[in-house]
Amino acid sequence: MNIKNLLLAFLSFALVSFSSLAISQSKIIEKKRSLYQNVYIVEEEGMRCMRFLKKHKNDLSQSCIYLDSPEKLVFTYYKQAMGVTYFVDNPKDILIVGLGGGILANVLGEVYPDAHITSVEIDDVVADMAKKYFAYDDSVENKETHVKDGRVFVKRALKKGLKYDLILLDAFNSDYIPEHMMTEEYLKEVKQLARPEGIIMANTFSSSKLFDHESATYQKVFGELYQITFYQGKTNRVIIVKNGKLPEVKSLLSKANEMRNELNYYGVDAFGLFEAISDEVNWDTEAKVLTDQYSPANLLKGK
């Protein structure tokens, strides 16, 4: 083995060891192997988190809550996702593709108590742990959970003629967004599920190598799009699109003012959130659109 290969092997071993050490130093509440990944519930630094771990991969905290103040949102993308409240008024039907710990389903259920929330999660272990450790409750009349692949659900929902006022795309595995849920064909299917004034939000990474391709794909399907990003560099971004024309950014200031007290309860700065909304085209508009035939996630993997 030459020096270069030896160094790569050492770095690979170090990453796996560090990942395992990080989990071992946390208080593991439960761990379970699902069909898709190892799922851990850990408590550390005043938080409870759901983590995914694959062999030879770093662990990924998928959902977290503060133990002392579970109403406060932990992750940046949770807070960015609350920007959808500036675009919708009292949605009746909400679809969340990618349940995770059920954090967004819980919050939106509180913000819109009259809405019916349908959550789709491919991993039954994740869905069970959301109920057990993150207070997600689908036994109530206005919440339902479907354990199946998100794209399969979307296709069947189209055949049933279902429509939604708000759709959140938040499906992640331990790598990134599943590649069949990033394509032009999939987004066209999701678009058909939205009512004429329906809003669609997608959680993505601003630092992803797929950034230009993702953006070009959303632009082709929806035309204009807004991005919500708090920080530059390696972080999440939220994409906001609509079947029709999006409102001017400046017109959303009144909604930020209206929502400021409610969002503050969840630890979200309403005006900081408003400032993070951008209509800037900051991607390569000539980037190739992702399709079911062209979705090389193995080459352009996120993160």
Q: What is the DSSP string of 42-102?
A: EEETTEEEEEEE-TTS--EEEEEEESS-TTSB-SHHHHHHGGGGGT-SS-SEEEEE--TTS
Provide the pLDDT for residue 9: 41
pLDDT per residue over 73-99, tens digit each?
999 999 999 999 999 999 999 999 999
| For residues 190-195, average pLDDT | 98
Catalytic residue among 59, 89, 170, 279: 170
| For residues 239-256, average pLDDT | 96
Q: How far apart are CA 68 and CA 102, in angstroms?
A: 18
Of the two residues 233 and 200, the one the predictor is more confident about is 200
Provide the pLDDT for residue 234: 58
Instruction: Summarize the chain as % helix, strand, coil (round to 5).
Output: 35, 25, 40
Q: How far apart are CA 158 and CA 56, in angstroms?
A: 38
Provide the pLDDT for residue 139: 96
pLDDT per residue over 45-75, tens digit each?
999 999 987 654 556 678 999 999 999 999 9
Nearest C-alpha neighbor of 227 from the set 275, 280, 271: 280
Percent of the chain topping pLDDT 70: 85
Provide the pLDDT for residue 213: 92
Q: Which residues of 3-33 are buried (b: 16+ CB within 10 A; e: fewer)?
A: eeeeeeeeeeeeeeeebeebbeebeeeeeee
Distances (CA, A) of 268 to 72, 76, 99, 105, 231: 8, 9, 21, 16, 15
Distances (CA, A) of 87 to 14, 61, 97, 189, 237: 45, 28, 19, 21, 17
**300 confidence band (pLDDT: 50, 70, 90):** low
Residue 26 above 80 pLDDT? no
Percent of the chain topping pLDDT 90: 75
Q: Write down the mean pLDDT value for the chain.
A: 88
Sequence length of the chain is 303
Burial class (CB in 10 A: 0-12, 13-18, 19+), 72: middle
Q: How far apart are CA 256 and CA 39, in angstroms?
A: 36
Q: How far apart are CA 33 and CA 56, in angstroms?
A: 15
Q: How far apart are CA 113 and CA 92, in angstroms?
A: 9
- The residue ranges of DSSP E strands in 83-187, in sequence order, are 93-97, 116-120, 143-146, 164-169
Of the two residues 54 and 178, the one the predictor is more confident about is 178
| For residues 104-113, average pLDDT | 98
188 CA to centre of own chain? 18
Q: How far apart are CA 2 and CA 179, in angstroms?
A: 35
Residue 21 above 50 pLDDT? no
pLDDT per residue over 117-140, tens digit each?
999 999 999 999 999 999 999 999
Provide the pLDDT for residue 25: 59
Q: How far apart are CA 241 and CA 191, in angstroms?
A: 9
Nearest C-alpha neighbor of 197 from the set 93, 302, 285, 62: 93
Tell me if residue 292 is catalytic: no
Burial class (CB in 10 A: 0-12, 13-18, 19+), 81: buried
